[in-house]
Amino acid sequence: MDALLLMIVTFIGYIAMYKVYTKYIAKKIFNLNNDNLAPSIEFEDGIDFVPTKKEIIFGHHFTSIAGTGPIVGPAIAIIWGWVPAVIWVFVGSVFIGAIHDFGSLIISMRNQGKSISEFTSKYINHRTKIFFFLVVFLALWVVISIFGLVIAIIFSMYPESVIPVWLQIPIAIYLGHLFYKKGKSITAWSIVALAAMYVTIIIGYYFPIQMPVILGIPATGSWTIILLIYAFFASVLPVTTLLQPRDYINSHQLIVAMLLLVLGIIASAFWGNLEMVAPTVQMNPAEAPPMWPFLFITIACGAISGFHCLVSSGTSSKQVKCENDSVFVGVGSMLTEGALATLVIIAVGAGIGLGYTDKSGNTLMGVSAWSSLYSSWTAMSGLTSNVAAFVDGAANLIQNIGIPKGFAVGIMGVFVASFAGTTLDTATRIQRYVFTEIMIDYNVKVFKNRYLSTGFVVLSAMVLAFLSGADGKGALKLWPLFGAINQTLGALALIVITMYLKRKGGWKWLISGIPGLFMIVMTFWATLINQFSYNSEHNILLQIINIIVLVLVGLVVIEGLIAFFKQPNEELEIIKVDK
C-alpha cells in the first residue's frame, strides 16, 4: 500500500473520531459541565495547582505521555507486519486509549485532582487502592530509573543532541518568566523560543559532546546521575517555572517534527515510489514471541498506555481550568499520539527502504534494507536499534524536502531526547504525588514536604539504576517486565473508570468495560507467558516480581467484580460547584 495513502486515510480517521468524542463521549457519557469547580482553581497554590490555558496544558500532557513510547513500541512491533501495527495503533488509540486518558483526567478533576490510585478506594474499596498503589509505584520506579539511562543512550548515539537538550532548559525558564511575570504573548514568544532551540541544534551539530569516563564511571552512569539530580529540581519547582513552558516548546517541536515527516512522505512519494517495504503480516518472525498477545503489550504509547492515566490524574488534572478543556487535553493528546505512532510506522516501514547502511558499510535499499535491520526480534528489541530505525528512516524522508541528512538526524535525535526528558520530569513529579498520598494515609506527615518526598523518589530510582554497577543500567533487569506492568496499569485504570460510570446508571460503563476486559485478558495472558519464559531462563528476580504483578492484578480484578455487582446504580459523588 502506498505510504502516502496510508497516512492520509489514518489522519482523516483521527480527525473524524475527535469530532465524535467532542460531541458524544464528552457530553453524553461524562456530561461535562464548566460549572463544576476545577481543582486547579479550588486549590490554586502556584506550585502544582495552577489554572492554565488548554493549549499550554496540551503541550505538557502530550509531551509527558509520549516520551519515546510511540517511537520505540511501533518500531519494534512492525516486525509482525505493518498492517497489525497500524490497526492496533488506530483502534487502540481511538476506542481504548482515548477513553482511558480522558476518563482518568475528568474523574481526577472531580476528585480534587487526586491520583487514580488514591480515588480507587472511592470507586472500589480501600484494599484495592493499596494493590493499585503498589502497581503504580513499581511502574514509576522503573520509568524514572530507566529514563535517565534512555536519555544517556540517546546522548551517546547522537552527541549532537546534548547541547540543544540542555540549552532548552534556560530557554524554557525564560519563556515562563516572559509569560507569567511579564504578561507577554505565549504564542509569539514560544515561536521565538522554538527558533532559538533550532539554532542550538545547529550549534550541537558542529559541537557534539561525548561524556568521558569520570572516576571510573562510564558515560551512561554519569549522565544518569546528572539527569536524576536534574529531575529532583525540575519536579519541586512550580509547574510554571519549567514544566509548562518547556513542554509548550516541545509541543511546538512536535508540530515541526510531524510536519517535516508529513512533507517528507509527500515529497518521497512524488519524487520516487515510497512503498511499505516492511511485510504486510509476518506471524512468525525469527526469535519473536507470539503476536497475540505481545503486539498489545509492545505498542503501548500510541494505542493505550497505563502511564497516561498517571499523567492525566497526576499533573494535568491539577492544571486544566475547566471541564470542557479536558477533551482537547485528554482526547486530543491521545489521538495526536496515535498519529505520531502512524508516522513512525511509515518511517521505519517505508523510510528505511530509501537507504540503510549496515554494519559492514554496505548501503541497502528497499526490502533488503528493512530485512537487514529487522533480521530478528533480538536484533530489534534493544533501545539503540529501534531508536536508530526511526531516526534513520525519518531522516531519509526529510532529506527529500531539501534538509541535509546530517541535520535531519540531529533534529530527530533532539526530538526523541527532549520527549524522554519530559517523561522523566513528569514521572518524578507524579511519583512524589503518589508517594505523598499513601504516606498521608498512614499518617506519616513528614513526607508532605515536597523536598523530602521527591528526595526519596529520586534516591530510590538511583538505587535501582545502579543496582548492577556504575553504568546505571540496573533498571534494565526489570525492563522486560515494564511492558506488561504498564499495560496492566492501563487495564486497571479502565476498571476504575468502569466503576465510576456504573454509578451513573444505565449502559455507559460498557464504553470502558469492554476495552478494560480486552486489556485484562491480553496483559494477563502476556504476563503468564513471561512467567514461563523467566522460569526457563532461571531468572529468579523477574519470576518473583512477575508473580507479584499477577497476584495484584488478580486481586484488583476480583475486588472490582465484587464491587461492580454490589454497587447500586446511583451517583454518590459530591461535586463542588463554584457558585
Q: What's the per-residue H, E or C state across 402-440?
A: CCCHHHHHHHHHHHHHHHHHHHHHHHHHHHHHHHHHHHH
| Placement of cell 505512532 in the chain | 341
Is it the case that residue 575 has pLDDT exceeding 60? no
Position 381 scores a pLDDT of: 64
Position 318 scores a pLDDT of: 95
What does the alpha-carbon distance between residue 485 and residue 492 come to, in Å, rounded to a whole number? 10
Question: How many residues are present in the chain?
Answer: 579
Q: Long-range contacts for 563-571 (Cβ within 8 Å, ≥24 apart)? A: 563/123, 563/124, 563/125, 563/128, 563/499, 564/498, 564/499, 564/502, 567/499, 567/502, 567/503, 569/502, 569/503, 569/504, 569/505, 569/506, 570/503, 570/505, 571/503, 571/504, 571/505
Backbone angles phi, psi at 320, to 5 degrees: -65, 130
Which one, of 423, 387, 393, 420, lies nearest residue 405 by Cα? 393
What does the alpha-carbon distance between residue 99 and residue 508 come to, in Å, rounded to a whole number? 12
pLDDT tens digit string along 400-418?
A: 999 998 889 889 988 888 8
Region of poorest pLDDT, from 178-192, 198-212, 300-314: 178-192
Q: Where are the alpha helices (DSSP H) in 442-478?
A: 450-465
Domain-embedded: residue 576: no
428 vs 420: which has the higher pLDDT: 428
Domain-embedded: residue 577: no
Question: DSSP letters of 142-186?
Answer: HHHHHHHHHHHHHHHH-GGGHHHHHHHHHHHHHHHIIIIIT---H
Residue 520, helix vs strand vs coil: helix
Which one, of 103, 220, 114, lies nearest residue 492 by Cα? 103
Domain-embedded: residue 232: yes
Domain-embedded: residue 573: no
Which one, of 261, 275, 339, 279, lies nearest residue 83 by Cα? 279
Domain-embedded: residue 461: yes
Position 577 scores a pLDDT of: 38
Domain-embedded: residue 287: yes
Contact 99, 303 (CB under 8 A): no
What does the alpha-carbon distance between residue 312 and residue 491 come to, in Å, rounded to a whole number? 15
| Placement of cell 497505563 in the chain | 306
Position 578 scores a pLDDT of: 36
Domain-embedded: residue 361: yes
Is it the case that residue 570 has pLDDT exceeding 60? no
What does the alpha-carbon distance between residue 363 and residue 247 come to, in Å, rounded to a whole number? 37
Position 504 scores a pLDDT of: 84
What does the alpha-carbon distance between residue 244 and residue 251 come to, in Å, rounded to a whole number? 10
Residue 324, helix vs strand vs coil: coil
What does the alpha-carbon distance between residue 53 and residue 325 come to, in Å, rounded to a whole number? 8
Q: Where does the pLDDT of residue 572 fall: very low under 50, low under 70, confident under 90, or very high at 90 and above?
A: very low
Domain-embedded: residue 39: yes
Question: Which CA distances in Å does 438 have to 113, 128, 199, 242?
Answer: 15, 13, 44, 27
Sign of CA dihedral 447, 452, 458, 464: negative
- 167: cell is 540549552
Domain harbouring 377, CATH code: 1.20.1740.10
Kindly compute the dihedral angle of the four CA atoms of residues 268, 269, 270, 273, in this order, to the nearest 10 degrees.
Answer: 100
pLDDT tens digit string along 466-525?
A: 987 888 888 777 777 888 889 989 999 999 999 999 988 889 999 999 999 999 999 999
Say how many C-beta atoms besides its own lie within 10 A of residue 572's C-beta. Answer: 9
Listed in sequence order, the residues at least 6 apart from 575 whose beta carbon sits closer than 8 Å to its beta carbon are 36, 37, 110
CA 233 to chain centre: 21
86 vs 540: which has the higher pLDDT: 86
Is it the case that residue 382 has pLDDT exceeding 70? no
What does the alpha-carbon distance between residue 460 and residue 331 come to, in Å, rounded to a whole number? 33
pLDDT tens digit string along 477-494?
A: 777 788 888 998 999 999
Position 443 scores a pLDDT of: 86
Q: Where does the pLDDT of residue 291 fall: very low under 50, low under 70, confident under 90, or very high at 90 and above?
A: very high
pLDDT tens digit string along 93-140?
A: 999 999 999 999 999 999 999 988 888 888 888 888 888 888 888 888
509 vs 1: which has the higher pLDDT: 509
Quote the number of domains for the chain.
1
Provide the residue range defining the domain that includes 176: 3-566
Question: Residue 364 has what DSSP assignment?
Answer: E
Average pLDDT, the chain: 89
Is it the case that residue 579 has pLDDT exceeding 50? no
What does the alpha-carbon distance between residue 104 and residue 501 come to, in Å, rounded to a whole number? 12
What does the alpha-carbon distance between residue 533 and residue 432 come to, in Å, rounded to a whole number? 34
Q: Where does the pLDDT of residue 66 fall: very low under 50, low under 70, confident under 90, or very high at 90 and above?
A: confident
| Placement of cell 540503510 in the chain | 356
